[in-house]
Amino acid sequence: MIPSAEDQMRRAIALARTQHGRTGANPAVGCVIVGPDGSRISEAATGDGGRPHAEQLALEKLRRPLPKGTVAYVTLEPCRERSTGEDACSTRLINAGVSEVFVAVMDEHPKGSGGCAVLKEAGVSVQTGFLSVEAAPLYEDFFASIA
């Protein structure tokens, strides 16, 4: 049985929870990548200390370009910009060929926010607020720290 979209995002949330408190100043993010047939083909959570980002880790496990119809489920809006100068997660998802991204919580960080706009400009379908109530507690402390 193929997991539902809700199941995929709940898996991403569970991955983020495993890293909560282990990512330094960065938030713990979960990312699940699903093939066109609905099967999970990769997943990852933010690395210890906050790097690499979840999307980066999940994409590194896959061949590129991804087949049309590949979907990513991400607990926090993919970053628009990286402080390290590396490609942002939004750019990585675009370059990999992801067709659609489901996002639970929009990023309030000045460098992170705007990733969904970058995805949309590139023609990637974006759904925001997907299971946000379940994922939001993961980011309360992070958002409070940047206020």
Residues assigned a catalytic role? 55
Tell me the one-letter amino acid at 1: M
Side by side, the strands of the sheet bearing 30-34 are 40-45, 30-34, 71-76, 100-105, 125-128
Mapping DSSP onto H, E and C, the string for the chain reads CCCCHHHHHHHHHHHHHHHCCCCCCCCCCEEEEECCCCCEEEEEECCHHHCCCHHHHHHHCCCCCCCCCCEEEEEECCCCCCCCCCCCHHHHHHHHCCCEEEEEECCCCCCCCCHHHHHHHCCCEEEECCCHHHHHHHHHHHHHHHC
